[in-house]
Amino acid sequence: MKASKGEIDSEDEGSVDFGSGFDCPMWDGVFNYAACIAGATMTACDELCRGLADIVINWTGEWHHAHRDKASGYCYVNDIVLGILVLRKKFDRILYIDLDVHHGDGVQEAFETTKRVFTLSFHQYEPGFYPGSGGCEDCGFATGKGYAVNFPFKSGITGSQFVTYFKRITTLIIKTYKPQVCVIQCGGDVIAGDPLGGSNLYPKDLIECIQIVMQHNLPLILLGGGGYNFANTSRYWTEITAAVCQQELSDDIPDENDFFLEFGPDYTIQIEKRRMEDFNTEEYLDGCVNKIEENLKKYDVGSF
């Protein structure tokens, strides 16, 4: 069957083998779109390599599910991997932190056999939750064993829990691994109210985590990520930008924009608090951290 204008018949093109289809449909202009996303992240990383900035932000970058040979999970190309390869031209120890509610599987897969890139992913991990990977025992392979860390929480995690464990894990990794640069993926689907998420976190919680990293004065790349409540994702990334730039924000959403009505009913920067059942016990979260700390010692991370 001939594809209609603006669409590409995935089966006719043989592109199903490359991951296009259900969540990565083909359409006119998709190559240029993916190239722009990847190019923007690579340019951001090049800015750091050349010392033109200490912090660079690309909210369009974030496609952490794409693999080397196929698109996956709404991600057509892994711009993060391409950006980190640019950073490798200058930096020998790169820390990648994934704050998206989904496991950063594509990035971990790309670097799980090397010590030069340390991948750290905080994500929801339950039966049936995409992509189904990223347990505590998943810590890399071969020479990269121990240089991938996953903190798999359950649905309903709160800010006080998340920030506490983030600080404990990340501070230890930075102290042990001694990274020279950091890339943080700030997926908006980790914010409460996201239709594809399941956490009870708010911008202030994730901003506190980012500021914990910033205290170590590392060159920093901030990238976007998933986010399917578009108004809340916009609020989240705006608040991060303001915090990084040390700017105060008005509570009121400016009314001179085309999307003003999307921020109702209160039209403020604040995200409505939600009541959610928290399935994370202290025993479970402590067990995850203990396993992470055990692996860091077992594989003598940072000794190279």
Q: What is the pLDDT along the chain (304 residues), one digit of tens a residue?
A: 233 334 444 444 545 566 566 675 676 777 788 888 999 999 999 999 999 999 999 998 888 887 787 767 666 788 999 999 999 999 999 999 999 999 999 999 999 999 999 999 999 999 998 898 999 999 999 999 999 999 999 999 999 999 999 999 999 999 999 999 999 999 999 999 999 999 999 999 999 999 999 999 999 999 998 898 999 999 999 999 999 999 999 999 998 888 999 998 999 999 988 899 999 999 999 999 999 999 999 999 987 7
Residue numbers of the domain that contains 238: 32-298
Do the domain assignments include residue 13?
A: no
In-domain check, residue 9: no
For residue 240, being part of any structural domain is answered with yes
For 11, 60, 92, 111, 153, the CA distances from 146, given in Å and listed in that order, are: 40, 30, 17, 12, 19
CB contact at 8 A, 36 and 87: no
CATH number, domain at 215?
3.40.800.20
- Residue 2 belongs to some domain of the structure: no
* Residue at 157 is within a domain: yes
| Residue 303 lies inside a defined structural domain of this protein | no
Marked catalytic residue, from 65, 67, 103, 123: 65
The answer to whether residue 202 is domain-embedded is: yes
Short-list 236, 239, 243, CA closest to 214? 243
Total domains, the chain:
1
To the query of whether residue 102 is one of the catalytic residues in this protein, the response is no
pTM of the model: 0.91
Residue 265 CB-half CA count within 13 A: 0
- Cα–Cα distances (Å) from 216 to 55, 102, 139, 180, 212, in that order, read 13, 26, 24, 10, 8
